Structure 1
C-alpha cells in the first residue's frame, strides 16, 4: 500500500544566493555542496510569481489552514526592499481564502535598517537574526571577508527590532554552537537582548567531516555545552523559550517536536532556490555536492510531485527510516535520529546514527532524569495509567464533577505529592521516619501528605525557592508520627518562634533555630512545653481549627501553617476566637447556599475541598480570593460581607482547583502555545491556560447568578436587578470565552471536549430572561472591557 503523501507546510524561499559575511561554518558556501556558484544572485519576479502559485495550489489541494514561508539566502536583505516587498505581495495575493500566511525572514542583521523594518511592518514579516553570543563568541566565525567583526552591526539590528515600533517583528535569535565559547556567557548575552525565542544549532557535520571535538573536553562536548546552558537557563527561571530544550521536554512527554533536528515527526519543508528549483533541506548541503537537489522546479512540477521524491519520503519515514541501532535506543522518540544531514557517511548514505549520537543521548537522558522528573509533576515510567474514567472526564468537561470523580482526582494528587516528597526527602534525617510510617501507618502518613501545603512545600524545594528547606520534611514526619501514636524524637525547625506540625497546629516556643520534639501516643514535648491531646497546654498550643458543616463535612480554617502563604494575596495571621466563630457561622450558611443554588457543584466541593485559608481583606471592600496551582484541596479567601458571596467565592476558586488537577494528568491545549488572548472579564491579554482557567471558573459564577435571578423572579428590587445584570454579564463573558478557546487552534481533542462541555453547560443560562436593561448593561461592560484591552495593546505597541 503506498505511503500517504505528507503535504508541505513550510517553505524556504531563497531571494538572494550570496552573502555579505564570510562565516567559516556556513553550510551553503563552506561545505560540500557548490551549487550556489551557478545560481542567480537574486530571485526573479517570474520565480516569485510561480512559487506563490505553486504554494497556493498545494494549500488549496490539501486544505492547509496556514503556510509558513521564510525568506532566506545567502543573505536575503541583499535582495533589497522592493524585491522583498514584491515577494510578500505575491504570496499573500495567491493564497486561497482561509489559509493564513506566516511570513518571516532570516538575516545576519548587518544590513537591517528602519527602511527594511517599515517594509516588514507593512507586510507582516517577522525577523529572525543569527548571532552566536557576545563579541568574542560571535567573532569566532561571523566576520566580514576582510576579517572585520560583524558584532556591532548585528547588535544595532537587534536594538532596532527591540524598539516599540518594531518589537512585534522580532522573531528570535539563532545561535550556532561552538564548544570553545563559554556557554553561560553566550546564553546571558542572548537573553540580555530579550528575544522572543532562542535556537541553539549544532554545527553541521557528517561522519565524513566530523564536528570539532577539542582535546580535553571529553567525548560529548556538545551535550556538556548545552547542559551548562540548560542549567543556567533553569537558574534564570527560563526567561525565554529555547527551541531545543522545549522540544526535548515535549518529546519526552510524547508530544511533537518544535524542530526538525529532534523527534520523529515527518519533515514538511521544501526549499525554492533563486532559479526556481526545488531542493530538500539546506542542511543537506553539508553531506555531498548536489545532496539536496530534486531535479524539479516551480515551472514544470507541482509540489505533490516534490513531496513524492525519494529523498523527501526518506525524511518522512519516522522510526522505520532510522538505522537499526537508533530504533532500539531508549530515547529514539525524543532524539529521532538527530538531523537527517548529520547521519551521512560515504558508502552507507544516511542509514547511520547522527554524528552527534553520544551528545544527543547524554543531553536527552540528563534532562529526562534530572529536570523533567523534578519540578511540578514527576515523570512516570511506561504508559501513564488513567486516573479518571471517560464518564468522569465527561462530568468535569461540563464544569461539574461528582464526589467520586473529585475524590479520584484527590487520590491522584496524593500520589503526585508522595513522589514529590520522595524527590526532596532522601537527603533528610526525617526520611527514615517517613519510610517507617509508610510501612506500618500509611493512613496517618497519607492524612498529612494530603494536606494541600505539603505539595506546595515540596515544589518550592524542588524549584529552589528562597526559604524552602528540608525542615519541612521533619515537620511532615512528626505530624504523621503523632497521628499514628508513635514514640519518637526528631529535631524540628523553629520558625518565627513556633514549631509547626502540618494538619495539627503550631506550638509557640519562642526564638529561632531548632528544637527536639519528643512524641508518644498521648502527645508531645518541644521547647520545654508539654502538649497532651486531652490537656492541650497553657495556650501556647494553637491547633488547626475545623468547622463541621451540614451533612458531616468538615473543613479546616488553616491559619498556622507557614506554607499556606502560597496564594497571590497576603494571608491572615492567627484568627482571634471571635473572628474564627464569625468565619464558622459564615461557612455554615455558605455551604447551605451552595447545596441549594449550586447542587451540581456541591458534591465535588465536598469531595475535594479540605482547607480554607483566610486572606487579608482587600482595599475598599474588594472581594479577595485565590487558588494555588500547587495546593490541591485549598482555597484562599478574605471573608466577604455576606454568606452568598462567600458561597460564590468558594465555588469559583474550587473550579480552578479542579481544572489544575486535571491539567496535571491531561493536556487540554498545546503547552508550547505562546499567543495571548482576550478574556472578556480582564483588560490584559491572557495566556491560553489563564483563559481556560477563567472560563471554567466562570461556569460556576454564571450558575450562581442564574440561581439568584430565579429566586428573584417577578421582583423589582435593587438586589434583583443586580443579580440580573451579573447573570447577563457573566454568561456573556463565559460564552464568548468558550468561542475563543474553541477557535484558538491550540486545543487537544480532550480540550475541545471540554469546550463543548462548557458550551453545553452555559447554554441554558443564555436563554434565562433578565430584561433589556440588564442586557444593555452587560453589553456596555463588555464593550468597555474590549476598548480598554485594545487601548492597552496599542500602548504596549507604542512603547
Structure 2
C-alpha cells in the first residue's frame, strides 16, 4: 500500500452521543436517508476515545500539523454528560504533540446547557456553538421537542449564559438552517440581537432525489434571494459578526480560499468518528442514501492515513477535476466549487451519483453574482438613497475621521479595509501576470486557511502590496519575486514545514516583516519550521538566521513601530530612502522616536490613539537640503510614513502626525469618493505657490488639521511665557489655523465635493473654527500675516 496521502486530515467530528432530546424535522441524522444511527451505541466509550486520541496524535506527528480542530457532536453531545465530556477533552489534548494546538468545540441545541456545563467548558477550553434558526416563530417551524413543545426559550437561556462575562470567551457562534418561508429580516435581526461572534447560515440538506422546497411565488432562486437579503443587512450593519458563507464568497472572488466546504475548490480535510468507533465521511452525506457516509474503517484497525486514502475522502479532495463538466465550464466555479458534495447526489444516473451540479446550482450562481455586484467595498445607502457611509466604518467613525481625528477602533476599521484591499490587489496582479509562481500563490492560499494570522501579519506589512500596485499600474517589468517573498515570510511565521523558492536580488534574500539574508544569485528555498526557518541557497549552503533583521522600536506602552530600512519595495515614497542604518544612526532614531511618542501623547492626544493603532512602520529617508524637513506618506503603503530624521524630537512628532493624516485620508478615499474625480481644475492651496488638483488640496487641508492643533496646544502651553520657543509656537499657530480655515472653505466652495466630501468639509470646519477664537498676542498675528504675504508673492 502506498504511504502517500492526498492531504492530511485536520478537522474531526467526534460523536459523543447518538441520540437527541429534540425532534427537528430537518435533521439529516434522523430524518433523512441514512438510518445507521439506530444500530450504534448511545454514548461513545472510553476505549474508543483513548484510541481516537492516539490516532490524532500519530497523524499530527507524521504530518507536522500545527493545529487540529475537533467538534464534539451528536445527536446531542450534552447528553453524554459532564464527566465524559471532560474525559474527552483531557484525552484529546494529552495525545497531541507540543507543537500542535487543539481547537476544541462542541455543537449543541442548547436546551441542556447549564452553568455547570459552562464551568466545565471554561476549565477544558471548549468553545460552544448553538443551533438557532431565528426568532421564536422561525425556530419553532422545525426545532421542537417530540411532543411539539417549543425549544426556543431554553435556547435563548443557553445563549444568555454564554453572553455572561465569565463565559463570553466560550461563545463560538450560532448555526441557522435556512427556511425560505421565514422572513430573512426577522431572522437576521433576532440572531444579531444575541451579539454572536459568528453565524453560519446553512442551506437545508437536499439532493436531486429529494430537492429543497421552493414555495410558489418566490421565484427560481429563493435561497439566493433570502441570503442576499441577509447579506445586505449584514453589510449595512458593518459586518458585525463573521458569516462564513458571505466571507467565503468575498474571498474566493478575490482569488483566496474558502472558509467552508460548501463553497470553493479547496479540498475537504474533515472526517467523522461515530460512537461505535467507525470512521465516516462528512455527516451531510447522510442525506444522500442509506450508508452513504460509510468508509468500512474503524479507529482500532485503521490509521487516519488509511482514512485519508479512502476513495470517498479523495473524491472530496479532487478540486476542479472532480466536478461535473457543467461545473467545470461555469464562470463562478472557483467561488461555488460545485456546492456541498452531498447536494450533488442523483440516484438515476447509472452510477455516478455525485457527478452533477448542486441541486442549489441556480441559487449559488445568483448568490455569488449578487455579492460580486455589490463590489468591494460596499457602501450603505442613506435615507434618500445616496451612498454616504462605507460599510467598513460606522457613521460615528466617519464623523470622527471627518473632524481629523480617529481613535483606535476607527483606525483598526481602516486597517481591516486596507488588508482586504491588499488581498484583492495581490489577487488581481497575480491573475494578470499569467499566473507564474503558482506554487507561491497556492502556498499563500493554503496558509490563509491553516495559519491565517501568519498571512495577515505579512499582508498587513505596508509595502506588501507595493508590487501589486506597480503591476496593476502597468509596470510589467516587475517580476513575481515579491509574491514568493510574501509566501516565504508567511511560511516562516506559520512554522509548519512549508517550503517555497524565492529569487535573490542584489545579493540579498528578503523576507517581508522579518529581515534579509545574504545569499548568492539565483533562487533560495525557504522552509518555515517550528521556532525558526532554513534557507538553502543556490550554492547549497544552508542558513538559519537573519543577517539583517527588521528593527523594532517601542515608542510607548502598546506602541511599537518597525524601522524599515531593508525592504526593497520601501522606495514607494516621493523621496530617496536611506540605506541600512548604522548602529549609531539606529540609536539616534530610537531616542528621537521614543521622545516623539511621548510628545504626541501629551500634545496631540486626539490623534495619538489612532496613530498607536495604525502607524506600524517608519521608513528612514535620505536627508534633504539643509534646513528642509523631508517626510512622505505613500498612497499604497497604509501604516507607513517616510521621514528623514529631523534635528529635534518635537519636529519628528509633528512630521509623524502630519503624514499619518495622509495615511488615514488615503484609506478613506479607498472606501468612498469625497470629490468628483473628473474635476481637473487646479486649486490654490494657501500654503503653496503652485496650484494643486482637488485631492492635493483635500490632503493638505486634512494634514494641517493636526499641524494646527499641534501648534495650538504648544501655544497654550506657553501662555504668558516669553522666549523664542514660545514666540515660534504662537506664530506657527496663527499661520496654520488661518491657512487651514481658508482651505476648508475653498474645498467647500469648489462645487466638486460629494455629499460625503461636504460632510468631511463640515467636520474639518468644526475642528478648526474653535482654534480661530483663541486669542494671541498682536505680534504673533502680525508675524503670521507677513508670512502669508511673503508666500503669496513667492
Q: Give the structure-2-normalised TM-score.
A: 0.56
- Tell me which residue corresponds to 1:40: 41
Unpaired stretches in structure 2, ≥5 consecutive residues: 380-416, 434-467, 471-477, 486-509, 514-549, 551-563, 577-631, 639-661, 716-726, 745-759, 769-794
**Pair 1:333 & 2:415 matched:** no
Contact 1:33 1:287 in 2 (8 A): yes
Give 2:732's match in structure 1, choosing from 568, 575, 582. 582
Structure 1 residue 216, shift from structure 2 partner:
0.5
Q: Using the alignment, how far apart are the partners of 1:567 and 1:92 within structure 2?
A: 56
Q: CA deviation at 1:558?
A: 10
User: In the alignment, does 2:431 pair up with 1:383?
Assistant: yes
Other-structure match for 2:687: 545
Contact 1:15 1:79 (C-alpha < 8 Å) held by counterparts: yes
Change (3 A) 1:226 1:81: same
Q: How has the CA–CA distance of structure 1 residues 568 and 188 changed in structure 2, closer, same or farther, with 3 Å as cutoff?
A: farther
Cα 1:563/1:179, change in 2 over 3 Å: farther
CA contact (8 A) 2:286 2:292 kept: yes
Query: How far did 1:327 drift?
Result: 0.7
Tell me the equivalent position of 1:700: none
Distance 1:222 1:249 in 2: 18
Given the superposition, is the C-alpha separation of residues 414 and 25 from structure 1 closer, same or farther in structure 2, using an over 3 Å criterion? Answer: same
1:260-287 per-position Cα deviation (integer Å, ceiling 9, x unaligned): 1011111101100000000000000000
Q: CA 1:613/1:73 → structure 2, altered by over 3 Å: closer, same or farther?
A: farther
The answer on whether the counterparts of 2:711 and 2:732 sit within 8 Å (CA) in structure 1 is no
Query: Would the alpha carbon gap of residues 188 and 402 (structure 1) be closer, same or farther in structure 2, given more than 3 Å must change?
Result: closer
2 CA distance for matches of 1:395 and 1:36? 52
**CA shift at 1:147, angstroms?**
0.6
Please say if residues 453 and 564 of structure 1, whose CA atoms lie closer than 8 Å, have aligned partners that are also in contact: no
- Who is 2:94 aligned against? 93
Shift of 1:562: 9.7
Query: What is the alpha-carbon distance in structure 1 between the residues aligned to residue 689 and residue 223 of structure 2?
Result: 59
Shift of 1:453: 9.2
How does 1:121-160 map onto structure 2 within 5 Å?
121-160=122-161
Question: Which residue pairs with 1:707 in the alignment?
Answer: none
Shift of 1:454: 8.5
CA contact (8 A) 1:544 1:558 kept: no
Against the structure 1 CA distance between its residues 161 and 568, is the aligned structure 2 distance closer, same or farther, given a 3 Å change threshold?
Answer: farther
Instruction: State the SS of the aligned residue for 1:365.
Output: helix
Deviation at 1:369, TM superposition (A): 2.2
For residues 372-431 of structure 1, what are the alpha-carbon distances to aligned partners after superposition, in whole Å with 9 as ceiling and x for unaligned? Answer: 365665875982464344688859866246895335999995999xxxxxxxxxxxxxxx
Q: Which residue of 2 aligns with 1:350?
A: 354
Aligned residues: 490
Q: SS state of the match for residue 25, structure 2?
A: coil
Residues 1:63 and 1:135: Cα distance change in structure 2 (over 3 Å): same
Structural mapping, 1:430-579, within 5 Å: 459=670, 461=672, 472-473=675-676, 477-478=678-679, 480=680, 482-483=681-682, 504-505=683-684, 543-546=685-688, 561=698
**SS class of match (1:383):** helix
1:303 deviation in Å? 1.0
Contact persistence 2:711–2:729 (CA under 8 A) = no
Is contact 1:233-1:239 (8 Å) kept? yes
Q: Which residue of 1 aligns with 2:464?
A: none
Matched residue, 1:29: 30
Aligned mates of 2:636, 2:176 — CA distance in 1: 42
Aligned residue in 2 for 1:733:
none
3-state SS of paired residue (2:62):
helix
Q: Distance in 2 between matches of 1:340 and 1:146?
A: 34
The answer to whether the 8 Å contact 2:665/2:702 transfers is no
Conserved in 1, the CA contact under 8 Å of 2:469 and 2:636? no
C-alpha distance 580-9 of structure 1, shift in aligned 2 (>3 A)? same
Whole-Å Cα distance in 1 between the matches of residues 344 and 697 of structure 2? 60
* 1:166-221: CA deviation from partner (whole Å, max 9, x where unpaired): 11111110000011111111111111111111101000000000001100000000
Equivalent-residue separation in structure 1 for 2:125 and 2:32 (angstroms): 33
| Residues 1:455 and 1:344: Cα distance change in structure 2 (over 3 Å) | same
Match status 1:321 vs 2:322: yes
Q: How far does residue 349 in structure 1 lie from its aligned partner after superposition?
A: 0.4
Residue 216 (structure 2) pairs with residue 66 (structure 1): no
1:364 and 2:368 aligned? yes
Aligned partner of 2:110 in structure 1 is 109
C-alpha separation between the residues in 2 aligned to 1:140 and 1:570? 61
Structure 1 segment 143-182 matched on structure 2, within 5 A: 143-182=144-183
When residues 124 and 545 of structure 1 are mapped into structure 2, their CA distance, relative to the original with a 3 A threshold, is same
Structure 1 residue 165: Cα displacement? 0.9
CA distance in 2, matches of 1:403, 1:89: 48
Q: Deviations over 1:694-738 (max 9, x none)?
A: xxxxxxxxxxxxxxxxxxxxxxxxxxxxxxxxxxxxxxxxxxxxx
* Cα separation, partners in 2 of 1:79 and 1:374, compared to 1, 3 Å: closer
Partner Cα separation in structure 1 for residue 32 and residue 286 of structure 2? 7
Gaps of 5+ in 1: 417-450, 463-467, 484-503, 506-542, 549-553, 587-610, 616-630, 639-799
Secondary structure of the structure 1 residue equivalent to 2:469: coil
1:318-368 deviations in Å (ceiling 9; x for gaps): 001000111111111111110000000012300000000111111111111
- Deviation of 1:56 after TM superposition, in Å, equals 1.0
1:49 equivalent in alignment to 2:50:
yes
Determine the structure 1 residue equivalent to 2:788: none
Q: CA deviation at 1:567?
A: 11
Structure 2 partner of 1:303: 304
**Contact 1:387-1:412 at 8 Å conserved across structures:** no
Structure 1 SS opposite 2:375: helix
Q: Deviations over 1:554-612 (max 9, x none)?
A: 999999749955999797599999979637999xxxxxxxxxxxxxxxxxxxxxxxx99
The question of whether the paired residues in 2 share the 8 Å contact of 1:544 and 1:560 is answered with no
Q: TM-score, normalised by structure 1?
A: 0.55
**CA 1:26 to 1:455, structure 2 compared with 1: closer, same or farther past 3 Å?**
same
- Indicate the SS of the match to 1:149: coil
Deviation string, structure 1 residues 44-100 (Cα, Å, up to 9, x no partner): 111111111111111111111111111000000001101111111111121122111
Tell me, yes or no, if structure 1 residue 275 matches structure 2 residue 276. yes
CA positional deviation for 1:477: 4.5
The answer to whether the Cα contact below 8 Å between 1:559 and 1:573 also exists between their aligned partners in 2 is no
What is the CA–CA distance in structure 1 between the aligned matches of 2:432 and 2:689, rounded to whole Å? Answer: 37
- Given that residues 33 and 287 in structure 2 are in contact (C-alpha distance below 8 angstroms), is that contact kept between their aligned partners in structure 1? yes
Contact map agreement 2:5 2:309 (CA 8 A) in 1: no
Counterpart-to-counterpart distance in 2, 1:230 and 1:337: 21
Q: Is the 8 A contact 2:344 2:355 kept in 1?
A: yes
Paired position in structure 2 for 1:732: none
Superposition CA RMSD, Å: 4.4
TM-fit CA distance, 1:544: 3.2
Judging changes above 3 Å, is the alpha-carbon distance between structure 1 residues 200 and 60 closer, same or farther for their aligned structure 2 residues? same
Does the C-alpha gap of structure 1 residues 91 and 454 become closer, same or farther in structure 2, counting only changes over 3 Å? closer
Closer/same/farther in 2, CA of residues 256 and 456 from structure 1, 3 Å limit: closer
Q: Taking structure 1 as reference, are residues 318 and 122 closer, same or farther at Cα in structure 2, changes over 3 Å only? A: same
In 2, the alpha carbon distance for the partners of 1:547 and 1:352 equals: 68
Separation in 1 of the partners of 2:158 and 2:201?
20
> 1:652: which partner in 2?
none
Moved more, 560-569 or 22-31: 560-569
Secondary structure in 1 aligned to 2:188? helix
Report what 1:524 is aligned to: none
Flag the 1:415–1:370 CA change in 2: closer, same or farther, 3 A: farther
Distance 1:408 1:170, change over 3 A: farther
Distance in 2 separating the partners of 1:337 and 1:182: 27
Change (3 A) 1:125 1:349: same
Partner of 1:233: 234
Q: Structure 1 residues 413, 135: CA separation in 2 closer, same or farther (over 3 Å shift)?
A: same
Shift of 1:253: 1.2
Q: Distance in 2 between matches of 1:121 and 1:261?
A: 30
